Amino acid sequence: MKAAWLAILLMAAPAARAVCTATAPSVAFGNYSPVSGSPVDIQGTITVSCTGIAVSARVRACINIGTGSAGTTVSPRVMANGSRTLGFNLYTDSARTQIWGSRSTGTTATPVMLDFGALLGNGSASVSYYGRILANQTAATAGAYTSQFTGLNAEVTYVEYLLSPPACSTLATNSLPITFTASATVVADCNISATPLDFGSVGLLTGNRDAASTLTVQCTASAPYSIALNAGTGNGANVAARRMTRSGGQQTVSYQLYSDAARTVPWGDGSRGTSTVGGTGTGTAQTLNVYGRIPPQVTPTPGTYADTVTATITY
């Protein structure tokens, strides 16, 4: 019985299979501004380690990444916040041109082939992944976005081989899950720019002199905002009594800025009877008119009169 038992043991030993583990990727993009126009990139490494590998054998491990729980395609993949989505992708190259796929989506998975000495029967290999939130997603609203990857959406299939490695598309056994979550936070953000308000050349200031300019605002979709105009840099000015100062002198010209074409609502910081102007972001550029008026007054010394007003947007 002892000899027979020993013979069976020796015959069974070559049938032992490798056991593999894999590190899950970290796909946390952090903050994303839809109005910046820029993508957000991350990168990391997935490592596959195997033990119990037969003498002279090699292991092919295929890392499959599918669509994720929030979408049905890999180009692009999406993260979701309720019914709202944010496009992103995972790539096999640093240029972010080759999308990382899966056997379950019909795309080509990136294989990780492990080479190792058979003396100890252990081996491991690593492969880099590259993530990107796509640029110019101006419709995205603020909030936390996620997509879950598990099961067929995130697995490593592997096999030992002696001669030719099998194709990843044929590997369905020895499936190893690598569960992870892709996440990002879309932040409320705004850009603001202004055009000059030019009253032109004026002789006597015996009547109203009107001019207008624009503010261009781009804020995250659905984000509320408010715009205040400060008192400017004119000598002795405040938001209710603005002044342009003569270049090289101290003389001033009184004027005011308004939010309406009738010039009845002074635009300021909310103090001294002035109002701020509010709105809601659309993700795209919005144009707001600024209406200026020089009222009748004693005409000062001829020269160039100017003021610098700061527009502050709060969101």
State the alpha helices, DSSP H only, in the chain: 2-12
Report the pLDDT value the prediction gives residue 109, as an integer from 0 to 100. Answer: 66
User: Confidence class of residue 115 from pLDDT cuts 50, 70 and 90?
Assistant: low
User: Confidence class of residue 15 from pLDDT cuts 50, 70 and 90?
Assistant: very low
Q: How far is CA 227 from CA 202, 216, 269, 313, in A?
A: 30, 11, 8, 4
- Residue in the structure block whose two tokens are 């995972």: 90
- Contact by Cβ (8 Å): 192, 311: yes
Report the pLDDT value the prediction gives residue 101, as an integer from 0 to 100. Answer: 92
Report the pLDDT value the prediction gives residue 31, as an integer from 0 to 100. Answer: 98
Distance between CA atoms of residues 84 and 138, nearest Å = 12
Percent of the chain's residues with pLDDT above 90: 79
- Contact by Cβ (8 Å): 63, 149: no
- Strand ranges in 195-251 using DSSP code E only, listed in sequence order: 209-219, 224-229, 242-246
Number of helical H runs and strand E runs in the chain: 1, 21
DSSP 203: S
Q: Which pair of structure tokens corresponds to residue 176?
A: 């190893």
Class of domain 19-186: mainly beta
Q: Which pair of structure tokens corresponds to residue 201?
A: 């050349």
Closest CA to 260 of 270, 271, 274: 274
Q: Which pair of structure tokens corresponds to residue 310?
A: 């700061």
Report whether pLDDT(10) > 50. no
- Contact by Cβ (8 Å): 93, 80: no
Every domain range in the chain assigned CATH 2.60.40.1090:
190-314
CATH architecture of residue range(s) 190-314: Sandwich (2.60)
- Contact by Cβ (8 Å): 239, 229: yes
Q: What are phi and psi of 235, to 5 degrees?
A: -60, 120
Mean pLDDT score across all residues of the chain: 91
Q: What are phi and psi of 8, to 5 degrees?
A: -65, -40
- Contact by Cβ (8 Å): 181, 27: yes
pLDDT in tens, 33-67: 999 999 999 999 999 999 998 888 889 999 999 99
Closest CA to 291 of 235, 229, 238: 229
DSSP 134: P
pLDDT in tens, 256-268: 999 999 999 999 9
